[in-house]
């Protein structure tokens, strides 16, 4: 039994009660050590769950084999890309979801789904506890544990990295001792990576030195802008009611569309963000993000939405978008306010149909063309030509007089107040 202080929260497992654990397994060092460590120290059985959210370059059969070799009762690999795109990315796109000006929330959007799947599979396989590999310093522990505690009050959680007090050295020693294969060199700690269809984050190493400019080897996905093609490329993104449905004139499923957008964006060095973030657990942290698909799709969506919305909607919605992004960042996916906000996002997005053309060039993405049957736009009215139809230039002076009335009065009052002073 691991030596442990008594649980702080109601959903934390009492070590004596742990019989069968559903482990969220990535195949990496932490969760592989965990797989052995849970069997040994809790004398519990372990079922592994590996979730495919579209992280590139993963060998799922190798992960499954490794889990079984390390004693897992079974290792389930779930392809959740469609569900991730449909249930998590679609609402995020409708809410132009970002946190802190530039982070498109791919990790924050993935965690509630991973945790919900953990709950489903834990119930199916008779597990009493869910284990994950998050540390005690990040947002991911909040997102996973809040989800489990919300959806499955009967299940408990354990977070061994938070309690086992092994550093990387000790973990490697433990792995060696227990015949756990350790990938790659062990001298330099790798970046801490998390990725899915919507983007990739790197943390750790020199990234923690705020004064250190990005080193090239962190960019595993996106071409460095300096090496991107000298020719610009135009991409068009077509939306129906806020949902991306076509790329460059071809209709695609959302997963295929995002994979294609990521590929084009990577080629042109799009979507790199060097980001300082206020974590909800109080820390300020730097991340390097590569989010080419999000950079393309969100830029296009934002533009199309502005075109079909009125000035009042355009003034109002960014505040709600920010609130939506913050709730999701902060691990409260299941909070009713999020679905309340979704109702508004859906109402606005009912009009968001049309096509946006973007120009990609050496790391930059800019809108170049727009078209929509719902644009609140009339070229004849907007042009400098003679007035007519719905717009009378002769009406403008009357408008200006009334529109500026209070401001003019207030200005005079302030001037009058100043006259008496010397």
Q: How far is CA 258 from CA 268, 298, 404, in A?
A: 15, 11, 47
User: Residue 107 has which token pair?
Assistant: 């990790």
The reply to whether 140 sits near ligand ARG by the rule CB under 6 A is yes
Comparing CB distances to ligand ARG, the nearer of 133 and 354 is 133
136: Cβ contacts below 8 Å, ≥ 6 apart: 159, 161, 162
Of the candidates 293, 287, 248, 267, the one whose C-alpha atom is nearest the C-alpha of residue 84 is: 293
The reply to whether 277 sits near ligand ARG by the rule CB under 6 A is yes
User: What string of DSSP letters covers 125-169?
Assistant: TT-SEEE----SSSSHHHHHHHHHHHH-TT-EEE-HHHHS---HH
Q: Which stretch binds ligand ARG (CB under 6 A): 28-36, 69-77, 133-141, 157-165?
A: 133-141
The reply to whether 238 sits near ligand ARG by the rule CB under 6 A is no
Site string for ligand ARG, 170-199 (x = CB under 6 A): ----------------------x-x-----
The reply to whether 351 sits near ligand ARG by the rule CB under 6 A is no
Comparing CB distances to ligand ARG, the nearer of 45 and 140 is 140
Handedness of CA 54, 323, 274, 185 (dihedral sign): negative
The reply to whether 12 sits near ligand ARG by the rule CB under 6 A is no
The reply to whether 30 sits near ligand ARG by the rule CB under 6 A is no
Strands 284-290 and 272-278 turn out to be antiparallel
Of the candidates 329, 291, 72, the one whose C-alpha atom is nearest the C-alpha of residue 202 is: 291
Using CB under 6 A, which of 96, 201, 223, 353 touches ligand ARG? 201
- Which residues are known catalytic residues? 30, 111, 140, 192
Q: What's the number of CA atoms in the CB half-sphere (13 Å) around residue 340?
A: 6
Per DSSP, 89 falls in state I
Comparing CB distances to ligand ARG, the nearer of 186 and 192 is 192
Q: Is the CB of residue 339 less than 8 Å from the CB of residue 347? A: no
Tell me the closest approach of the beta carbon of residue 287 to ligand ARG, in angstroms. Answer: 5
List binders of ligand ARG among 278-307 (CB under 6 A): 287
Comparing CB distances to ligand ARG, the nearer of 38 and 207 is 207
Q: Which stretch binds ligand ARG (CB under 6 A): 136-144, 174-182, 313-321, 376-384?
A: 136-144
CB 133: neighbour CB atoms within 10 A?
22
The reply to whether 98 sits near ligand ARG by the rule CB under 6 A is no
The reply to whether 139 sits near ligand ARG by the rule CB under 6 A is yes
State the residues that interact with ligand ARG by CB under 6 A.
107-108, 138-140, 192, 194, 201, 203, 277, 287
């Amino acid at each position: 039994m691991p030596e442990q202080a008594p649980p702080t929260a109601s959903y934390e497992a009492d070590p004596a009660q742990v019989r069968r654990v559903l482990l969220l397994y990535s195949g990496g060092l932490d969760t592989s050590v965990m797989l052995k460590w849970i069997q040994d120290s809790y004398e519990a059985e372990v079922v592994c769950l590996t979730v495919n959210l579209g992280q590139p370059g993963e060998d799922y059969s190798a992960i499954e084999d490794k889990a079984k070799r390390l004693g897992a009762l079974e290792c389930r690999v779930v392809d959740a890309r469609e569900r991730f795109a449909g249930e998590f990315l679609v609402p995020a796109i409708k809410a132009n979801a970002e946190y802190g000006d530039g982070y498109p929330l791919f990790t924050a959007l993935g965690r509630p789904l991973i945790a919900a799947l953990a709950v489903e599979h834990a119930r199916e396989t008779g597990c009493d506890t869910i284990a994950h590999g998050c540390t005690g310093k990040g947002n991911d522990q909040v997102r996973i544990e809040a989800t489990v505690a919300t959806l499955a009050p009967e299940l408990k959680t354990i977070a061994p990295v938070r309690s086992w007090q092994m550093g990387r050295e000790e973990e490697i020693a433990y792995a060696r001792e227990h015949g756990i294969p350790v990938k790659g060199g062990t001298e330099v700690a790798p970046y801490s990576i998390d990725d899915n269809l919507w983007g990739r984050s790197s943390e750790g190493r020199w990234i923690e030195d705020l004064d250190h400019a990005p080193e090239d080897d962190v960019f595993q996905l996106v071409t460095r802008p300096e090496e991107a093609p000298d020719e610009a490329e135009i991409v068009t993104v077509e939306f129906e009611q806020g949902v991306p449905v076509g790329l460059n004139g071809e209709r695609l499923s959302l997963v295929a569309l995002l994979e294609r957008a990521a590929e084009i964006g990577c080629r042109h060095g799009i979507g790199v963000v060097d980001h300082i973030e206020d974590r909800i657990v109080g820390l300020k942290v730097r991340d390097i993000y590569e989010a080419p698909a999000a950079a393309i799709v969100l830029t296009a969506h934002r533009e199309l939405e502005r075109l079909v919305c009125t000035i009042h909607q355009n003034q109002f919605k960014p505040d709600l978008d920010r609130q939506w992004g913050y709730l999701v960042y902060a691990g409260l996916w299941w909070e009713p306010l999020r679905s309340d906000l979704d109702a508004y996002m859906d109402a606005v997005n009912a009009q968001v149909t049309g096509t946006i053309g973007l120009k990609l060039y050496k790391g930059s993405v800019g809108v170049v063309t727009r078209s929509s049957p719902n644009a609140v736009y009339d070229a004849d009215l907007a042009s400098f030509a003679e007035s007519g139809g719905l717009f009378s230039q002769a009406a403008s002076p009357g408008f200006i007089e009334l529109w500026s009335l209070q401001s003019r009065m207030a200005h005079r009052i302030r001037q009058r107040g100043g006259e008496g002073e010397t």
